Amino acid sequence: MLAYRRGQPIRAGQFLADVAQGVSALGSASHVLNVCADRYLFAVGFAACLLSGKVSLLPPTHTAEVIRQLSEFAPDVVCLTDAPDCDIDLPHVALTLDATMGRVATPAVPQIDAARAAAFVFTSGSTGTPVPHRKTWSSLTADVREAPARLGLGARPCAIVATVPPQHMYGLENSILVALLNGHALCAERPFYPADIAAVLAGVPRPRVLVSTPVHLRTLMGSGVELPPLDLVISATAPLAVQLALEVEARCDCELLEIYGTTETGQIASRRPTAGAEWRLWPGVVLSKRGEETWVLGGHVEEPKRLYDVLELTGKDTFMLQGRIADLVNIAGKRSSLAYLNHQLNSIPGVLDGAFFHADEPDGERADVARVGACAVAPGLDATGLMAQLRQRIDPVFLPRPLLLVERLPRNSTGKLLQAALRALATPQPKTTRVK
């Protein structure tokens, strides 16, 4: 079985027929922004690109500004969508299943050139322009082929249910590629509410795998909905609290494994948090220190890539995660940087000076969803107008709370802006002074 969609199984023969329809729908464009929300249709579109020499573009967000930048990067880009009301400002190619109900009688596994560019995955960068990372088919898939050994996803074909979208690396690898490469079945639905997650899981046969995030798992546990028996839970995007990991394993009666990966490198390590905090690297992957920075190379990582976390190397293939670097912003699995957000804020006409800050102390209890705030000097603008402009430029999870309009920013005597000083502006002043 290759997929389940609305409870119905889909076999490889139908998938290949649907892919052939996708190839003809896409026409001559050589770059494709695949925004299909239906995971099966996304897989059809992704495979259609692979088989017809097109490159998939995977940006971190779909704001108007990023879409404009994408069309500068690849002027022939088209938007492959399954939503009739899709408002992305690019030429649309509609993908629906109503038109694609054929079947290939004797499906043969397509062969794909390992060295060809399969995708450009973008990070937000720090200068206002998304940074493309070229992914060959081999670099995209070599780590996924380790999944049977590292995640125990080997012996029996599993049904994979994911709460994350396929448009980012974690979801692409663990809900699309792992299924297509290792003989598992992907589930077309992307359940959002806890009751939906339980219903989609119950609608597919065991063994069942849930691919999720700390954000979704916390809500799932908190909601109290009844879950069918699971066989594996995978989490990524932010470290999972051990207490939550214990609860997930107890409620789901299976192991919970965490994956560590980045857009630039794909997945490079895993751990079972209830068994220990140490991460174990994927085979062949080597970490090295350059001063304070950690770099990764080897295995499926074909060029040296910097990691934007603070890592302590504890052995040849093990490490501990110590936290994020100060500039990094990671909210519910979406990554940005203060430098990028500041650039966007200061690019708005009328903003004289502005800066984002971490609204919470770093590494607090809710570090995976801690929001950002911003201060701006913009005499001619009000907060509502400024927020509307920011909405055009940055992903909603990074919109500032609070957004403070001030007369000047709290720069110190050397002109530097300290995070603590910005945070203090957003915090009500204590009424009493501490006495020694």
Partner 1 sequence: MPPPRSSKLRYMSDHATPLKHLSSASDSDLLPEIAGLIVEALNLDVAPGSIDPDKPLYGEGLGLDSIDILEIALVVSKRYGVQLRADSAENGGIFGSLRRLVAYIGAHRTR
In the complex, the smallest distance separating the C-beta of residue 84 from partner 1, rounded to whole angstroms, is 13
Alpha carbons 425 and 346: distance in angstroms, whole number: 19
Which one, 27 or 222, has the nearer CB to partner 1?
222
Residue 315: how many CB atoms within 10 A of its CB?
Answer: 9
Per CB under 8 A, the list member of 53, 102, 110, 222 interacting with partner 1 is: 222
User: Applying CB under 8 A, which part among 71-79, 188-196, 241-249, 317-325 lies near partner 1?
Assistant: 188-196
Identify the CA nearest to 170 among candidates 238, 112, 227. Answer: 238
Confirm or reject binding of residue 360 to partner 1 (CB under 8 A).
yes
Beta-carbon count within 10 A of 392 CB = 13
Report DSSP state, residue 414: T
Give least dist CB 330 to partner 1, A.
12
Among 72, 87, 292, 365, binds partner 1 (CB under 8 A): 365
Smallest distance from partner 1 to CB 340, Å: 18
Query: Please, which of residues 373-412 interact with partner 1 by CB under 8 A?
Result: 387-388, 391, 396-397, 399, 401-402
Kindly tell me which of 2 and 215 has the beta carbon lying closer to partner 1: 215
Count other C-beta atoms under 10 Å from residue 347's C-beta: 13
Is omega for the bond preceding 214 within 30 degrees of 0, making it cis?
A: no
Q: Are 15 and 37 in contact (CB under 8 A)?
A: no
Structure-token pair, residue 78: 């088209």
Binding to partner 1 (CB under 8 A) within 272-331 occurs at 331
Q: Give dist(CA 333, CA 395) in Å, integer.
A: 12
Residue 368 touches partner 1, criterion: CB under 8 A = yes
Q: Check residue 364 for interaction with partner 1 (CB under 8 A).
A: yes
Q: Which is nearer to partner 1, 280 or 371 (CB)?
A: 371
Residue 65 sits in the site that holds partner 1 (CB under 8 A): no
Query: Is there binding between residue 236 and partner 1 (CB under 8 A)?
Result: no
For residue 247, the minimal CB distance to partner 1 (Å) is: 14
Token pair, residue 419, equals 């995070």
- Of the residues 193, 284, 377, 417, which one makes contact with partner 1 according to CB under 8 A: 193
- Our finding on whether 359 is near partner 1 (CB under 8 A) is yes
Of 172, 223, 175, the C-alpha closest to 199 is: 223
With vertex at residue 334, the alpha carbon angle to CA 332 and CA 337, rounded to the nearest 5 degrees, is 120
- Which distant-in-sequence residues (6+ apart) come within 8 Å of 153 by Cβ? 147, 178, 182, 184, 209, 232
Residues that bind partner 1 (CB under 8 A): 191-196, 199, 215-216, 218-219, 222-225, 331-332, 359-360, 364-366, 368-371, 387-388, 391, 396-397, 399, 401-402
